[in-house]
Amino acid sequence: DDNILKVKDLVKYFTVTSGIFSEEDSVKAVNGISFNVKRGETLGIVGESGCGKSTAGRTILKLLEPTEGKVIFNGKNIYEMTDEELRRLRRNMQIIFQDPFASLNPRMKVGELIKEPLRVHGIESKKERINKVKDIIEVVGLNESHLNKYPHEFSGGQRQRICIARALILNPKFIVCDEVVSALDVSIQSQIINLLKDLQDQFGLTYIFISHDLSVVKHISDRIAVMYLGEIVELASIDELFNNPVHPYTKALLSAIPVPDPEVNKERIILEGDVPSSRNMPSGCSFHTRCPYNEEICSLEKPKLKEKGNEHFVSCHLKCS
Ligand code: SF4
Ligand code: MG
């Protein structure tokens, strides 16, 4: 099987309590998404904040309990695994977050921070662990002298390198990168993206790369899934998505990227209005409250994600007929 990961009809609802009568409400953070990730590729997931992309990333790793659905990793449904199977799987599936500083213990030296996952998983002898840490710090573009320092002594970009080293030390096959460059300056962003690409080639890694920024996702992804209010509205290769976007929401995201030649982006759509609350999902197509093409059918019937050919999937009543 080409696919390292298959996500099927994944649903994640949160229950929230609010109001004077403590009413229970359901927030539909992820509302039935399905996709595959091929071995060695990068699948980008893009969408505005609150679209459910981070919740999807965490639920796929079972850091959050799913409401419904399946996640098949290397042929096995991870939601049916025993605790022991899941513990072993954790080494293979890692996640790196946006704010590197927040996820590092400020009182631990960098060497200890990188070594910690090996200790937790009881891997290797003490001496072996130290050798591994010395190797991996070089791999991420730092050096041995950095191991004796504390996280606060590093820049944001360097701290993200430390987090990458911590994820890599377990020799994973699959990494979810959740807004990993969003807090960094643009020049540092491209350094980290280039590092991630090098590591992917070197270690045969597969990534899910989550970002609100389509121009960032573009630089690392092979394919992109566009999410809106907990659903995937378009999924295609980079070339298809940028040269032949179909869904009005994707077009709106593309319109927001400054282009040197305005002719390139012929159909510009400027998004108006706020993202509706996922506690109160619009009927039919969830984008209809902001879509310039909205017609009667759009608020009545939910469009399905359909293939237009060329492994290009879109969910839109008008654009798919
Ligand atoms: Fe717009 Fe209708 Fe397509 Fe939804 S289904 S994206 S409202 S045209
Ligand atoms: Mg690649």
Cα separation of 264 and 10, whole Å? 36
Atom number, ligand 1, closest to the C-alpha of residue 319: 3
Q: 80: which DSSP letter?
A: G
> What's the pLDDT at 276?
85
Q: Residue ranges of the chain with pLDDT lower than 70?
A: 259-266, 321
Cα–ligand 2 centroid distance for 219 (angstroms): 9
**Dihedral sign from CA coordinates of 316, 318, 320, 321:** positive
Shortest-distance ligand to the CA of residue 295: 1
The CA distance from 153 to 15, in Å, is 40
pLDDT at residue number 146? 96
* Alpha carbons 81 and 64: distance in angstroms, whole number: 15
Distance 96 CA to ligand 2 centre (A): 17
The ligand 1 atom at the shortest distance from the C-alpha of residue 294 is 7
Listing DSSP states for 108-147 in one string gives S-HHHHHHHHHHHTT-S-HHHHHHHHHHHHHHTT--GGGG
pLDDT of residue 26: 84
Atom of ligand 1 nearest to the CA of 248: 6
Question: How far is ligand 1, taken at its centre, from the CA of residue 317, in Å?
Answer: 6
Q: What is the pLDDT of residue 262?
A: 59
What's the pLDDT score for residue 268?
82
Question: Which of 244, 189, 183 lies closest to 220, judged by CA?
Answer: 189
Domain ranges of the chain: 228-321
Cβ-count burial of 267 within 10 angstroms (0-12 exposed, 13-18 middle, 19+ buried)? exposed
Determine contact, residues 209/45, Cβ cutoff 8 Å. Answer: yes
CA distances from 145 to 21, 91, 109, 133, 312 (A): 58, 27, 11, 12, 48
Reported ipTM: the value is 0.93
| pLDDT in the model for residue 264 | 59
Tell me, what's the pLDDT at 271? 83
Give 260 Cα–ligand 2 centroid separation in angstroms: 25
Give the span between the Cα atoms of 83 and 285, in whole angstroms: 39
